[in-house]
Chain A
Amino acid sequence: MKRFLLILLLSAATAELAFAQGTKFLGSDFEFADYLIENDLKLDARKLVWNPEYMESDSLLFVRGWVEYQLKELEKAQDLLALIPETSAFYPKALFYGTAISAHLGDYSSPVKRLEEYSGPYAELKGVQLAGLALLRDDPEAFRSAAQSFTYSDYALSGPEKEFDAIYKSRYESRRKSPWLAAAASAVVPGLGKIYAGKTGEGISSLLLIGATGAITAEHWVKDGISDWKTIVPLLFTAALYIGNIYGSYMSVSIYNSDLRNAQNTAVLYNVHIPLRSVLK
Chain B
Amino acid sequence: MLKTRLFCIMCISLCALYSSRAQDWESMAVELERTVWNGASIEETNDALIRKAACYGRLGRYADASATLGRVRMFALESEEQGQVLYGQELYWFMSGDFGQAATLIGEVGDGSREALLLHALVLAYAGKYDESEIYAARFVSWDGPCPRLGELLKFYEGHPRPRKASAAMALAFVPPLGHFYNGAYGEGLLSLGLNGGAAAFVVANLLGGYWVTGIVGGGILLNYTFMGNQERNAALVRQHNAQDPLAFGDALRNLLQDITSDIGIDKLLVK
A223 touches B210 (CB 8 A): yes
Chain A residue contacts of B61, Cβ below 8 A: 43
A13 to B213, CA, bound (A): 90
A215 touches B217 (CB 8 A): yes
B214 touches A216 (CB 8 A): yes
Interface residues of A in 11-58 (CB under 8 A from B): 12-13, 16, 32, 35-36, 41, 43-44, 47-48, 51
A2 to B4, CA, bound (A): 9
Interface residues of A in 180-207 (CB under 8 A from B): none
Closest to B68 in A: A41
Q: How big is the B interface, by class?
A: 20 to 34
Chain B, 26-55, contact with A by CB distance < 8 Å: what is the 0/1 string?
110110011001000000000000000000
Closest to B220 in A: A212
Chain B residue contacts of A212, Cβ below 8 A: 217-218, 220-221
A44 to B64, CA, bound (A): 11
Interface residues of B in 212-256 (CB under 8 A from A): 212-214, 217-218, 220-221
A6 touches B30 (CB 8 A): no
A9 with B30: in contact, given A16-B17, A216-B218 (CB under 8 Å)?
Answer: no
Interface residues of B in 168-199 (CB under 8 A from A): none
Closest to B27 in A: A47
* One of B7-15, B74-82, B146-154 at the interface: B7-15
A2 touches B212 (CB 8 A): no
Partner of A9 from B14, B29, B34, B64 at Cβ < 8 Å? B14
B26 touches A47 (CB 8 A): yes
A279 to B220, CA, bound (A): 61
A201 to B120, CA, bound (A): 50
A219 with B211: in contact, given A32-B37, A44-B30, A48-B30 (CB under 8 Å)?
Answer: yes
A160 to B210, CA, bound (A): 66
Chain B residue contacts of A47, Cβ below 8 A: 26-27, 29-30
| A142 beta carbon closer than 8 Å to chain B | no
A26 to B17, CA, bound (A): 24
A30 CB, min distance to chain B CBs, angstroms: 12
A220 touches B10 (CB 8 A): no
A220 touches B211 (CB 8 A): yes
Overall SS of chain B's interface: helix
A6 touches B10 (CB 8 A): yes
A32 to B34, CA, bound (A): 7
A5 to B15, CA, bound (A): 13
B221 touches A44 (CB 8 A): no
A35 touches B37 (CB 8 A): yes
Chain A residue contacts of B33, Cβ below 8 A: 36, 41, 44
A48 to B33, CA, bound (A): 11
Interface residues of B in 53-86 (CB under 8 A from A): 61, 64
A223 touches B211 (CB 8 A): yes
A277 CB, min distance to chain B CBs, angstroms: 22
A6 to B5, CA, bound (A): 12
A85 CB, min distance to chain B CBs, angstroms: 29
Chain A residue contacts of B210, Cβ below 8 A: 223
B221 touches A215 (CB 8 A): no
A218 to B29, CA, bound (A): 77
Partner of A219 from B14, B17, B212, B221 at Cβ < 8 Å? B212
A218 to B10, CA, bound (A): 92
A16 to B7, CA, bound (A): 18
A229 to B217, CA, bound (A): 19
Closest to B210 in A: A223
Partner of B29 from A2, A13, A44 at Cβ < 8 Å? A44
Binding site for A on B (CB under 8 A): 4, 7, 10-11, 14, 17, 26-27, 29-30, 33-34, 37, 61, 64, 210-214, 217-218, 220-221
Given A16-B17, A219-B214, A220-B211, 16 further pairs, Cβ under 8 A? A9-B14, A13-B14, A13-B17, A32-B34, A35-B37, A43-B26, A44-B29, A44-B30, A47-B29, A48-B30, A209-B221, A212-B217, A212-B221, A218-B213, A219-B212, A234-B218
